[in-house]
Each structure stands twice: as C-alpha cells, then as structure tokens.
Structure 1
Amino acid sequence: MRAALVDRAEETETGAAKRDVFALPKRATAASDRAPVLLEANPEVTGSAMTVPGDPFYATVMRRRLRTLASLPDWEIRPVTLLASELFNNCIRHTRSGDPGGEVTISVFKLAGRTQVRITDAGPREGEITVPRLRPLDPENESGRGLHLVATDASRWGTIHHDDGRTSVWFEVDRLERNPDRPVDHAER
C-alpha cells in the first residue's frame, strides 16, 4: 500500500531524490458527514466517514476502505463499491472536488438489513450550478449513466443539498441472504 502512495522519484539538480507523495485519507469530522440518512426511528447504526483528495487515484483507496468498513462478503460488497465509484467519479468530474485541493467525503453505514453509502462533494465550481439528477440517456454519449446505474441497482437513493453548498448523493443496498442451495457463480469470486 505504501508503494502505491508514492508516485515517482525525481532527481533534483543537487542529486537528492524528491518524491511526490499522495495524501492519506483522513477521518471526516463534521457531524453531518458521520450520521446516516435515516428512514426509520431508532435504528442500530455502525458507520464511519473519511475524506480523500478529489483525484481519480483515490477511487481505489475508497473501494478498499468501503470493503473494510462494510465488512460484507465479496458478492455483496461489489454493487456497493460499483455505485460508490460512480458517485465518486461524478464528484470529481462535475464539482470543485475534482479541482486542485478538492476533496470528497465518503460515509458508510451498516443499518438493519442494508448498507448505506453517502458521497459528498466540495460544492459547485465558481459560476456553475450542479444538481445531481437523472438525465435522458443518450446512446451516443459515453457519460451520463452513473445516476441511472444508482437508480437501477440501489434499493433506495437520494440527494441532500447542504447549506454550505456541498451536495451528497446517498444510496442503500439491501443485504441479501445467500441461498445455500444456489450454486456458486464463479464470476462472483
């Protein structure tokens, strides 16, 4: 993991090695980032939140962290990491999260019978208004499918517009009981 965080070493004029080091994820401290979107009263909640730089490299870091925090079997975590990746990429493409110094906050919660993930951006770029919404699919365009994937594969999803200009997109995936009589699909491994 440490080797993955060091991008490259360059020789300076003095012959000393200079390294470009990627920042490590940090714990999100805002109470709103560490609380789930609740659809029922008095749930049992286990969760965590982290903030990472808005760089495509951190999609991999986010997926690894989600796997660890959710502690779900591989066949159940895959849809969660796929949907989170789509939302992460939307943040860095459409908001200040993708600008130099931009950040994305990822929150994950284990709730009764389901896993909830919330991805929060750094707010719109100067002079822009960004509102996550389903747009008509254009078969000629390679982009614009992320929220459709979330709407199709998530059990529930929605958006939250924060007073500070940030936007969160959250989704839940219901946990499924694995049928022991069903043969194992090797693609699930």
Structure 2
Amino acid sequence: MAALVEQAKNTKTDTRNREVLPLPKRANAPSDRAPVLLEPNDEFTGSAMTVPGEPAYAKVMRRRLRTLASLPDRELRPIELLASELFNNCIRHTRSGDPGGEITISVFKLEGRTQVRITDAGPRDGEITVPHLRPLDPDDESGRGLHLVATGASRWGTIHHDDGRTSVWFEVDRIDRNPARPADYAEW
C-alpha cells in the first residue's frame, strides 16, 4: 500500500509542464475563403483556417480535412497525403516555418471534386521561392513533394498573392458510385 501511495505522489497530475497547442483560427483573407474555380460554378461548401507553422499542426490539419471533406477513407487518404506534403513544404521552405509563421488551409467541396489550398506566409527574407517541379534525383532524400501532388491530383496549380504569400492548390475528383453497389465495393 505504501508503494502505491508513493507512486501516486510521483505521478504528475500538474498540466503546467505539458505543452498546450493554441487553437486554429479562422482565415480572414477573402481569397482564402473562396475556391480556385476553373469554370463558373456558384455552388460550393468550404472553410479555411490558419494554424501556426509547426509540424504538430499537420495532425490538426488532417483532422480538419477529414471533417470537412466527409469522404470515405479510400477517397480521403490521397487528399490527406497531398495536403501533408504541401503543409510540410510550407514549413521547410517559407516563413511559415519560422517562429510566429502561419499556414492557411482551405478545403472546398465542389461538384464532383474536392479542392484543397495550402497558403504559406511568403518567402524568408532575402529568398525567392516559387513552388515548381524539380528534376527527380534518385539519390536526393527530398524534392518529391510536388511530383507527388502532380501525379496524385486531378488538377493543381500555384497562386502568387499580392501580399507575398503563395498558395498551392490541388483537386481530387470524387469516385463515381454505382448506387447498386456498396460504397466500399472494389472491382478486382
């Protein structure tokens, strides 16, 4: 019994030492709250949020994508993967990864497709960054993120904002479902 009392005393119940992440905030820029439309279409639902440019927020972003997209896992996994790649690129290559940096994630359900846009905080001082496909080097451990987006997305592109920020967006077409078959039916 004395051992249990001693163990209880040694167990931390104080949360002051545990890091508490701040909550995401609503994106305020109108351009962050509207999809990139390649054709006139007034019908869409979507949302945008801004989070600190810290790796821990990739999980928050993926959770938000799952909630907003409300798609079956087989359709959601590619979206999560591509968004994670772009999120990590923002942290690695832009001011978003610096202390106080932020990343805006916008998700839109459009007719027959889902669009995701990841917006960085702009290039670091003295640097010019433009997201682009680089030649693949099999010996290089990086440089595959945009290739993954280019091959995994139905459409993608970049937007350079007047305030210095850059957005990379992609769309993934939803899988047509035959109402006579279950949604998770796969043909072999």
Is the structural similarity TM-score above 0.5? Answer: yes
Residue of structure 2 equivalent to 1:163:
162
Q: Aligned residue pairs: how many?
A: 173
Q: What is the identity percentage for the equivalent residue pairs of Structure 1 and Structure 2?
A: 80
**What is residue 107 of structure 1 aligned with on the other side?**
106
Change (3 A) 1:44 1:89: same
Partner secondary structure for residue 47 of structure 1: strand
Q: Secondary structure at the match of 2:19?
A: strand
Bigger Rg, structure 1 or 2? 2
Q: 1:146 corresponds to which residue?
A: 145
C-alpha deviation, 1:138, in angstroms? 0.6
Counterpart AA for 1:112: E
1: CA distance, partners of 2:17 / 2:89:
32
CA distance in 2, matches of 1:163, 1:102: 18
The secondary structure found in structure 1 opposite 2:79 is helix
CA RMSD in angstroms comes to 2.1
Q: Which runs of 5+ in 2 are unaligned?
A: 1-11
CA contact (8 A) 1:43 1:111 kept: no
Write the letter of the residue equivalent to 1:99.
D
Q: TM-score, normalised by structure 2?
A: 0.86
Name 1:116's counterpart in structure 2: 115
Gaps of 5+ in 1: 1-8
- 3-state DSSP class of the match of 1:168? strand
1:84 aligned counterpart, secondary structure: helix
Aligned residue for 1:158, secondary structure, equals strand
1:63 counterpart = 2:68: no
Alignment-derived partner of residue 176 in structure 2: 177
If each structure's helix is expressed as a fraction of its own residues, which one has the higher value? 2
SS for the counterpart of 2:32 is: coil
TM-score scaled to structure 1, two decimals?
0.86
2:106 counterpart letter in structure 1: S
Specify which structure has the higher proportion of strand: 1
Residues of 2 paired with 1:150 and 1:162: CA distance? Answer: 21
